[in-house]
Amino acid sequence: MSVNPELRKLDIDIPSQPQSLVQLSLLLAEDVVNLQAVATLIETDMALAAAVMKAVNSSLYGLKGRVQSVHQAISYLGMREVAGITFEMGLRAAFPPAPELEPLWERAGKRGLLMGRLASRLSLDAWAAHSAGLFEECGKAVLFRHATDHYRAMLRAAGSDTELATLEHAGFGVSHDALGAALCESWGLGPAAVASVRHHVEAQAHFRLPEAEGRRSICALSLLAHVLMHDPDALDAAVMAIAQAADLDEVLVMRAACQTHEELEAAAQGC
């Protein structure tokens, strides 16, 4: 997919999707996904496979015993979560390693997992939700690579993503949410995931979801994941507002949120 011409005028480079992820996307788009073909594809890229296995065996997933192969990981976690981990590692690899970006990638992995599992429990598009969670802050990585010293100062100065977006507009003429959405489009993510990335700053600041009906549910999950990650004590009030805005059943949303949060907390504690 092409990048918005207005963004091209800003001379900010958006990395191309790695070929391995292009091939993975094609496999995932098939009516019946060939698990062996997916596992083989991931394993042929040694660096990617090693990164995927390291992530699978981290405390975030809470698996009992060490997973030895990508195929085994798919058996334990399911295709979507292993594909999500693979996309996460591919996204990381598209940018130079930097200490300032590590918290971003850690949040991305947890957010993607939360959103994917929430979507699955609510019968929504789990892959769109998982990928939207992974890519939500990727625009920050784009700007960090574009002007490292300048952007490092912005990250230190901003007290919130809303303040950061204001600084980004002043310094670059674009904010990380718009850049992140452009990267999502260029990497072939679906419209609902792109919309979630594009609107997440406004949604988190004002509990305001996109107006288009087909774009609300994934963004609602982004907002719910944000609450679970940063202020779980506010979950009751947040669920009421989010469910109403996204036209979701409040009881089902609360149940899904509690189950998913408890699941990840137990995994982190090694339960």
pLDDT for 158 equals 96
User: The domain spanning residue 216 has which CATH number?
Assistant: 1.10.3210.10
Q: How far apart are CA 253 and CA 267, in angstroms?
A: 21
Which of 41, 66, 93 is the C-terminal boundary of a domain? 93
Phi and psi at residue 191, to the nearest 5°: -60, -35
Q: How far apart are CA 88 and CA 131, in angstroms?
A: 9
Does residue 85 sit in the same domain as residue 144? no
For the chain of 271 residues, list the mean pLDDT of each consecutive stretch of 10: 52 88 91 90 89 87 83 88 91 93 95 95 94 96 95 95 95 94 93 94 87 80 95 93 92 96 82 49
Q: Are 175 and 205 in contact (CB under 8 A)?
A: no
Statement: the pTM of the whole predicted model exceeds 0.85: yes
Q: Give 17's DSSP letter.
A: P
Q: How far apart are CA 264 and CA 114, in angstroms?
A: 8
Does residue 248 sit in the same domain as residue 187? yes
pLDDT for 180 equals 96
Does residue 147 sit in the same domain as residue 214? yes
**Of 225, 110, 229, which is closest to residue 239 (Cα–Cα)?**
225
Does residue 109 sit in the same domain as residue 143? yes
Does residue 24 sit in the same domain as residue 106? no
165 contact partners, CB below 8 Å, separation of at least 6: 175, 176, 177, 201
152 contact partners, CB below 8 Å, separation of at least 6: 100, 144
Does residue 5 sit in the same domain as residue 74? no
**Of 24, 233, 203, which is closest to residue 131 (Cα–Cα)?**
24
